Copies of this chain bind each other. A is one copy, B any other.
Amino acid sequence: MQLKWGIAGVGMIAHDFLTALDTLPPEQHRVVAIAGKDVDRVQRLATLHKINTAYEGYEQLARDASIDIVFVSVLNLQHYEITKLMLENDKHVLCEKPMGMTYKQTKSLVDLAREKGLFLLEGMWSRFFPAYDALEKHITTGGLGEVYHINVQFGVQINDIERNLMKDLGGGAVLDLGVYMLQLINFIYKEPPVDVVCTGHLSKTGVDESVSCALKYKDGRTATMAAQTRATMTNKAEIIGTKGTISLEYFWCPTVLHISAANSTEWTLPKGKYKFHFHNSAGLSYQIQECWDCINKGIVESPKMSLDESILLSKLTDTMRAQLGVLESEL
């Protein structure tokens, strides 16, 4: 089966995605069209990545019958609208995280995809890294004993100009960084927390610039997470059990799983034809292949990142943003 891809959005992640896709077998993946609001950028990306069809705006992409699946990489604020448009036009969708800005948006998209029997996946690319499989195997076989605490940090030092832009982009510490930390914690604990409390700072425009969060789970288990837009953090996850601790570097896109001095595994990412904008973006290829695997098997939800989990994450980010005082009208 050759999966025909359409690309909605022409940002840096679209470039990285196309470069990663190009490392996969062409008999399985082909990009047939790209669409965006800025015609120049659409043309530039189409030329660079040898995509035959370039659309201005997303309507034509949605109606292009040659497309099987659309990668939605527009601004966070538009994920809902564009994903909905594609589903309504019977396209499978891989949507950048966060799929919705809120629980309401996410639930509505999931309902629509399920109703129409279409494949829908929130682009939580972390889940498809082999290091996550190996981590899960190590934990489920008792390598850490009982896991009682998880600590995650994600800090990106951005300047005031970028920080002020976050509002218009639909960004913020919770939606840009927090979701990655939540998915890691949920990957390990596999159930919703019984209590979530957080605090943090809002910008003058009302966007969360920092968030620190404490989570409580059943049976004595806890977690802490923190995101900052003012300093680079350790950006590691620490998974602490009764028999040991794993420190996972680049927890959202890990290529090394270091269990002990004698037990460390490293995975090599494919080389892209072009330079990537973001760290380990070549690993987007794992996620692209997951779409192929699911659709090829006729599965409409990835077992590694289910839609129920997307719904749970959206509930948690709503809770966190409400506690931080992000405008209630948005929730």
Contact = CB atoms under 8 A, between A and B. Distances in A.
A238 interface: yes
Given A212-B223, A214-B224, A224-B226, A198 B197 contact: yes
Contact of A228 (B155, B209, B222, B226): B222
Interface in A140-182: 145-146, 148-149, 151, 153, 155, 157
A298 to B, nearest CB: 42
B233 A222 contact: no
Interface string A224-252: 11101011111000101110010100000
Q: Which among A145, A209, A216, A223 has the greatest number of chain B C-beta atoms within 10 A? A: A216
**Which interface class (under 10, 10 to 19, 20 to 34, 35 or more) fits A?**
35 or more
A291 to B, nearest CB: 35
A325 to B, nearest CB: 11
A215 interface: yes
A145 B231 CA distance: 10
Given A149-B233, A200-B222, A226-B149, A214 B216 contact: no
A201 B242 CA distance: 17
Contacts of A328: none
Given A198-B197, A240-B234, A149 B153 contact: yes
A224 B151 contact: yes
Closest 8 A/B residue pairs (Cβ): A212-B214, A197-B197, A148-B231, A199-B216, A224-B224, A195-B199, A212-B222, A148-B230
Given A214-B224, A231-B241, 20 more contacts: A145-B231, A148-B228, A148-B230, A149-B155, A149-B210, A151-B153, A151-B224, A153-B238, A196-B199, A197-B214, A197-B323, A199-B215, A209-B220, A211-B222, A212-B214, A212-B223, A212-B224, A224-B226, A232-B240, A233-B240
